[in-house]
């Protein structure tokens, strides 16, 4: 029995070992990583400026100068997709993070405490569901002005509702388990039980739902921008590019295809990574 | 020729981690009017053997690698799906372990019963709804359902566990099978109900002249009803023979080990009870729950514990027995203040606990701990053994970063786990080992009182014996006081100094274990003690016929 045996590995080390054997998840991670790096470096590596127009050129199909073609104003599509990625990825990750934190805490507390508090908390969720979220966001925008940070918060504030419901369901099932009762009998405080015993055991569905939320948030941003509540041209985001691409789909298909492919690729990558993470973080799956 | 003749059956599971030989070269025969018991611990291949006969195994990973199973001369392992359906519907019936989950909750039991008759694949055996109904009612009557006319249209949730198992038996018999496979049919039932069901199966077998394969982990259960016994372990037959030869004249070490592991007789260690040193005093305790009924407005109050008074002296092991629904678990949890009490008082070494807030309870929590029934559910699957054992120590400030490793090693020594397993997760352990981890967690804070709620009920009989030994040993060494809750009277007898019998939320009888066993005063206790299966075929047969 060596010391190494006894030390073993932590949950996250374990998770990494398992993840590194899951090629699909690694592929997803690589794509996400690449997109993030490109987005960060865009101002320096983009072939053109994002508002640089060439009206004489108009919409051209992919060529040596413009790898992914140009839009009707003669703006380089590659550049616009790169700049769009900055907005879309930030919205996707930050709004989802907001939804994740609020949703998990809200759901965990409601499900764990139960009784009246649960009833009140979930009725609040129901009321928020019932509010047409467009009105909600428009109100926010009107009151606080149009601001990209507010956009993240507004989207996050809508998306956490489903997360809270999912987590609450999980927690209610977990709460009845004997290991939670064992934790009570050890005298652990409610908050410690939620933090150490409840939340880690809800990770599986939470991770999967998170990877599904990111793309839906990106599309929501596009929708808001389309209504004039989010990003405005000449700035771009993937959602916005796709929206404009749809309008000119018949004449200039590449304006839809390239942003669409980028978004789909991100979606696939996130799903692969999410599935991989879920398996990797579950100690019940084997390391081999 | 025997009705069923199994020869050299091999069932392998092809998993990612290699081939598991679930059943390896198993042969046996069963004839009409004969009962074969297949006995073994979990993972012995006893259920797989039966399911492979009816093609009920998931394939893959399971694969039948060899052997024959001749039923009336036709090989069951090689017949096609259509032929198999014919056998399943007509000739071979199965009774499963858990009557709670083997009936469809959305269909009335009558409807489920007549299903095989009115949808029978053979046109000539297909029956009209009226005929089928008459036949079903006749059968329900035969298996002991009172007022079968009215009960025909009831849904499964309206029946108790024992009654549902009777319905399952009626369902199995509806097409007059020639072979009945019973897979642990009484394991989920209370001891008095178990005795009734065993008697019923025995009676039906004699009147109908069917062959029965009775699968069980419990030698005591099969003693009275089996003609032949097959002892299995790790997929192979360890010993086969007539019931008497297995029980009285076993040649095999494994069989002997199984027989020896059956809890029997009185506690051998002297009582460590310190008279006049009261640790726990429960006075007129009531724990009621409100059940919200979906349909009506009125809420039903469930009086789980309804006025219980008892005392636990320092150093004693107090056994608490009762059937399911007797309120014994709720009483245990109420003493620990894990269930909200309605009225009455619990005091711990003279200090009242009832009415204390969560915060005020914390210093008391480390003095009283609990061991749970299901070692699969009582450990957090995402925490290693190290984390599980470290949590109570760190939380109560009983260890610091320097001493913690040493303390955890000490705990693992105490409960008999190797140090090398410290960083493993619960799923990497067997049931018995998990229960050791749970016991380690319970004794980590050096408590004075431990409440053990059915700590060995989910374990195999040999493991059960080991865990009971461990518990007795720890009680001795750490000077513990224990409330030992169990439905298994034999287990309670061999571990406790004093016994409390509970029924329907109240204490029926209490007294010193041996005195109570010899001379039970109350009718309920007498009935309970009489129903315990005895691992002695001759005694058991006469008991079953006398019930």
**Residues B278 and B357 reside in one and the same domain:** yes
Grade residue B389 by pLDDT with cuts at 50, 70 and 90.
very high
> Is B184 in the same domain as B77?
yes
User: What was the pLDDT predicted at A6?
Assistant: 39
CA distance A257 to B210: 71
Question: pTM value?
Answer: 0.79
> CA end-to-end span of chain B, whole Å?
35
A15 in any annotated domain: no
The dihedral through the CA atoms of A23, A25, A26, A27 has a sign that is positive
E-only strand ranges, B84-223: 92-95, 179-183, 211-216
Residue A60 lies in a domain: no
| B207 and B78 part of one domain | yes
- The confidence score (pLDDT) of residue B295 equals 52
Query: Positive or negative CA dihedral for B24, B28, B32, B38?
Result: negative
In a domain, B393, yes or no: no
The average pLDDT across B359-377 equals 87
Find, among A192, A182, A188, the residue nearest to B438 by Cα.
Answer: A182
B80 and B107: one domain? no
Once rounded to an integer, what is the mean pLDDT over residues B441-453? 91
Tell me, what's the pLDDT at B448? 92
CA distances from A52 to A42, A247, A258, B482, B485 (A): 15, 22, 19, 81, 79
Is A189 part of any domain?
yes
* A4-8, A203-207, B176-180, range with the lowest pLDDT: A4-8
Concatenating the DSSP letter of every residue in A214-281 gives HHHHHHHHHHHHHTTSS--TTS--HHHHHHHHHHTTTT-THHHHHHHHHHHHHHHHHHHHHHHHHHHT
* B546 found inside a domain: no
Least confident of A49-58, A81-90, B110-119: A49-58
What integer is the mean pLDDT of B88-114? Answer: 82
CB proximity list for B545: less than 8 A, separation 6 or greater: none
The residue of chain A nearest to residue B359, with distances taken between CA atoms, is: A189
Contact B362 A187 (CB under 8 A): yes
Q: Same structural domain for residues B145 and B186?
A: no
Q: How far is CA B243 from CA B40, B216, B222, B246, B545, in A?
A: 15, 14, 9, 5, 17
Residue B483 has pLDDT above 90, yes or no: yes
Q: Looking at residue B317, which CATH number applies to its domain?
A: 3.40.50.300
Q: Which of A177, A284, A286 sits opposite B377 (nearest CB)?
A: A177
| pLDDT greater than 80 at residue A134 | no
* pLDDT of B412 above 80: yes
B303 lies in some domain: yes
The model's confidence at residue A9, banded by pLDDT at 50, 70 and 90, is low
Looking at A60-69, A187-196, B139-148, B454-463, which range is the least confident one? A60-69
Indicate the number of domains in chain A. Answer: 1
**Is B200 found in the same domain as B73?**
yes
The chain-wide mean pLDDT, for chain B, equals: 84
pLDDT in the model for residue A10 = 62
Q: Which helix (H) or strand (E) holds B484?
A: strand B481-486
Tokens of A170: 């999980």
- What pLDDT was estimated at residue B545? 66
Which SS3 state, helix, strand or coil, does residue B32 take?
A: coil
Question: What distance in Å separates the CA atoms of residue B428 and residue A273, rounded to the nearest whole number?
Answer: 26
| H or E element in which residue A110 lies | helix A77-113
Element containing residue B355 per DSSP (H, E): none
Last residue of a domain, one of B219, B240, B262: B262
Burial of B123 (0-12, 13-18, 19+ CB in 10 A): exposed
Q: Scanning the structure block, which residue is given the tokens 């259509």?
A: B82
Burial of B326-360, coded b for 16+ CB within 10 Å and e otherwise, reads bbbbbbbbbbbbbbebbebebebeeeebbeeeeee
Determine the pLDDT at residue A5.
38
Token pair of A122 as six digits:
């979930």
Q: Are B75 and B265 in contact (CB under 8 A)?
A: no
**Of the segments A147-156, A252-261, B465-474, which one has the largest average pLDDT value?**
B465-474
Q: Which residues of A touch B361 (CB under 8 A)?
A: 187
Q: In this predicted model, what pLDDT tens digit does every residue of A96-110 receive, in sequence order?
A: 888 899 999 999 999
How many structural domains compose chain B?
3
Q: Is the pLDDT of residue B287 over 80?
A: yes
Average pLDDT over all residues of chain A: 81
Residue B171 contacts by C-beta under 8 Å, 6 or more apart in sequence? Answer: B93, B112, B113, B116
pLDDT of residue B441: 92
For residues B107 and B172, membership in a common domain is answered with yes
Per-residue pLDDT at A1 exceeds 50: no
Q: Is B546 within 8 Å of B539 (Cβ atoms)?
A: no
Report the gap between the CA of B10 and the closest CA in chain A (Å).
27
Cα B137 from Cα B146, distance rounded (Å):
10
> In degrees, to the nearest 5, what angle opens at C-alpha A217 toward C-alphas A78 and A169?
150
Q: Average pLDDT for residues A232-251, to the nearest whole number?
A: 79
Nearest CB to B361 within list A5, A183, A187: A187
Distance from CA of B233 to the nearest CA of A (A): 26
Classify residue A196 by its DSSP letter.
I
- Is residue A111 domain-resident? yes
| In-domain check, residue B195 | yes
Residue A106: CATH number of its domain: 1.10.3720.10
Q: Comparing A36-40, A54-58, B285-289, B496-500, which segment has the lowest mean pLDDT?
A: A54-58
Question: How many angstroms away from the CA of A207 is the closest CA of chain B?
Answer: 15
Alpha helices in B416-522 (DSSP H): 431-443, 461-478, 489-495, 513-518
Flag the least confident range among B77-81, B110-114, B125-129.
Answer: B125-129
pLDDT at B350 over 70: yes
| H/E stretch holding B35 | strand B35-40
Confidence category of residue A11, pLDDT binned at 50, 70, 90: low
Point out the domain boundary residue: B176, B192, B208: B176
Answer whether B368's CB lies under 8 Å from B345's CB: no
When comparing pLDDT for B8 and A152, which is higher?
B8
In a domain, B464, yes or no: no
A178: containing domain: 20-46+71-280
Contact B130, B184 (CB under 8 A): no
Q: Which residue of B365, B384, B423 is in closest CB contact with A185?
A: B365
Q: Determine the distance in angstroms separating the CA of A173 from the nearest CA of chain B, rounded to an integer.
A: 12
Residues in A touching B369 (Cβ below 8 Å): 185-186
| Domain assignment present for A211 | yes
Map B222-268 to HEC letters. HHCCCCEEEEEECCEEEEEEEHHHHHHCCCCHHHHHHHHHCCCCCCC
B111 in the same domain as B197: no
First to last CA, chain A: 22
* Res. B307: pLDDT tops 60: yes
Q: Is the pLDDT of residue B292 over 80?
A: no
Q: Which positions in chain B touch A179 (Cβ < 8 Å)?
A: 377-380
**Residues of A engaging B, defined by a Cβ cutoff of 8 Å:** 1, 5-9, 11, 177-179, 181-190, 192, 196-197, 200-201, 203, 283-284, 286, 288
Of the given ranges (A134-148, B8-22, B482-496, B528-542), which has the lowest mean pLDDT?
A134-148
Residue A11 has its nearest CB partner, among B364, B370, B382, at: B382
B67 and B197 within one domain: yes
ipTM > 0.95?
no
B324/B203 same-domain check:
no
Does residue B173 carry a pLDDT above 50? yes
The answer to the question of residue B269 being in a domain is: yes
Q: Between A154 and A30, whose confidence is greater? A: A30
In a domain, B415, yes or no: no
Are B51 and B105 found together in one domain?
no
**For residues B211 and B34, what is the distance between their CA atoms, to the nearest angstrom?**
5
Q: How many helices (H) and strands (E) does chain B have?
A: 20, 20
- Residue A158: pLDDT band (50, 70, 90) is confident
Most confident of A230-244, B87-101, B182-196, B343-357: B343-357
Last residue of a domain, one of B118, B143, B176: B176
- B341 and B272 together in one domain: yes
**Chain A residue closest to B336 (CA)?**
A185
Query: What is the domain extent for residue B206?
Result: 1-91+179-262
Residue A62 lies in a domain: no
Asked if B377 and A187 come within 8 Å (Cβ–Cβ), the reply is no
- The reply to whether B419 falls in a domain is no
Reported confidence tier of residue A8, pLDDT bands at 50, 70, 90? very low
Return the SS3 of B145.
Answer: coil
């Amino acid at each position: 029995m060596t010391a190494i045996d006894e030390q073993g590995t932590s949950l996250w080390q374990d998770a990494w070992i398992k993840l590194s054997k899951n090629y699909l998840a690694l592929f997803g991670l690589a794509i996400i990583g690449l997109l993030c790096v490109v987005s960060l470096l865009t101002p320096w590596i983009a072939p053109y400026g994002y508002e640089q127009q060439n009206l004489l050129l108009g919409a051209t199909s992919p060529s040596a100068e413009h790898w992914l073609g140009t839009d009707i104003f003669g703006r380089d599509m590659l550049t616009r997709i790169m700049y769009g990625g900055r907005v879309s990825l930030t919205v996707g990750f930050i709004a989802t993070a907001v939804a994740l934190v609020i949703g998990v805490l809200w759901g965990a507390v409601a499900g764990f405490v139960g009784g009246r508090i649960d009833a009140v908390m979930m009725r609040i969720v129901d009321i928020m569901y019932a509010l047409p979220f467009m009105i909600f966001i428009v109100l926010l925008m009107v009151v606080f002005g149009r601001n990209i940070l507010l956009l993240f918060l507004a989207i996050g504030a809508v998306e956490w509702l489903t997360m809270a419901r999912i987590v609450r369901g999980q927690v209610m099932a977990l709460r009845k388990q004997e290991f939670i009762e064992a934790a009570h009998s050890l005298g652990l405080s409610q908050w410690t039980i939620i933090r150490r015993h409840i939340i880690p055991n809800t990770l599986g569905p939470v991770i999967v739902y998170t990877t599904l939320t990111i793309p839906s948030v990106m599309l929501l941003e596009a929708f808001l921008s389309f209504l004039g509540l989010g990003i405005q041209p000449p700035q771009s985001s993937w959602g916005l590019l796709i929206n404009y691409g749809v309008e000119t789909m018949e004449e200039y298909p590449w304006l839809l295809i390239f942003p669409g492919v980028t978004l789909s690729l991100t979606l696939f990558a996130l799903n692969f990574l999410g599935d991989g993470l879920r398996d990797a973080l579950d100690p019940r799956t084997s390391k081999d | 020729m025997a009705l069923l003749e199994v020869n050299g059956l091999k069932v392998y599971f092809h998993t990612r981690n290699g081939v598991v030989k679930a059943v390896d070269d198993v042969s046996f025969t069963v004839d009409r009017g004969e009962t074969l018991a297949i006995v073994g611990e979990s993972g012995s291949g006893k259920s797989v053997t039966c399911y492979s006969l009816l093609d009920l195994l998931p394939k893959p990973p399971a694969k039948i690698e060899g052997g024959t199973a001749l039923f009336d001369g036709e090989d069951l392992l090689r017949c096609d799906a259509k032929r198999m359906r014919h056998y399943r519907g007509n000739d071979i019936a199965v009774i499963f372990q858990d009557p709670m989950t083997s009936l469809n909750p959305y269909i009335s039991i009558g409807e489920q019963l007549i299903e095989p008759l009115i949808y029978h694949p053979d046109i000539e055996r297909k029956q009209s709804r009226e005929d089928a109904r008459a036949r079903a009612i006749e059968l329900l009557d035969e298996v002991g359902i009172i007022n079968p006319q009215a009960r025909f249209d009831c849904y499964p949730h309206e029946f108790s566990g024992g009654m549902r198992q009777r319905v399952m038996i009626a369902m199995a018999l509806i097409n007059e099978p020639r072979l009945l496979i019973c897979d642990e049919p009484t394991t989920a039932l209370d001891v008095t109900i178990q005795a009734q069901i065993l008697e019923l199966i025995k009676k039906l077998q004699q009147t109908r002249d069917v062959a029965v394969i009775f699968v069980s982990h419990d030698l005591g259960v099969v003693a009275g009803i089996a003609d032949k016994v097959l002892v299995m372990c790790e997929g192979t037959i360890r010993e086969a023979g007539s019931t008497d030869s297995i029980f009285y004249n076993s040649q095999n070490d494994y069989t002997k080990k199984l027989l020896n592991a059956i809890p029997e007789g009185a506690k051998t260690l002297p009582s460590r009870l310190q008279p006049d040193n009261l640790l726990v005093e429960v006075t007129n305790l009531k724990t009621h729950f409100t059940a919200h009924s979906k349909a009506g407005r009125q809420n039903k109050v469930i009086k789980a514990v309804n006025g219980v008074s008892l005392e636990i002296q320092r150093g004693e092991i107090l056994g608490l027995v009762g059937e399911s629904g007797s309120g014994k678990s709720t009483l245990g949890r109420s003493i620990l203040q894990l269930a909200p009490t309605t009225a009455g008082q619990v005091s711990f070494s003279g200090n009242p606990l009832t009415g204390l807030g969560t915060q005020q309870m914390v210093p008391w929590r480390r003095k009283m701990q609990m061991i749970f029934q299901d070692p699969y559910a009582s450990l957090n699957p995402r925490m290693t053994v190290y984390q599980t054992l470290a949590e109570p120590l760190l939380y109560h400030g009983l260890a610091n970063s320097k001493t913690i490793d040493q303390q955890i090693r000490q705990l693992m020594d105490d409960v008999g786990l190797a140090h090398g397993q410290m960083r493993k997760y619960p799923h990497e352990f067997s049931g018995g080992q998990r229960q050791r981890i749970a016991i380690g967690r319970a004794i980590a804070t050096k408590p004075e009182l431990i409440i053990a709620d059915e700590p060995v009920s989910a374990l195999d009989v040999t493991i059960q014996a080991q865990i009971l030994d461990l518990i007795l040993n720890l009680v001795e060494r750490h000077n513990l006081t224990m409330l030992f809750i169990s439905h298994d009277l034999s287990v309670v007898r061999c571990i406790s100094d004093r016994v409390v019998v509970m029924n329907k939320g109240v204490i029926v009888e209490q007294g010193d274990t041996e005195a109570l066993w010899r001379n039970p005063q109350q009718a309920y206790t007498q009935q309970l003690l009489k129903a315990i299966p005895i691992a002695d075929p001759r005694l058991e047969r006469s008991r079953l016929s006398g019930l």
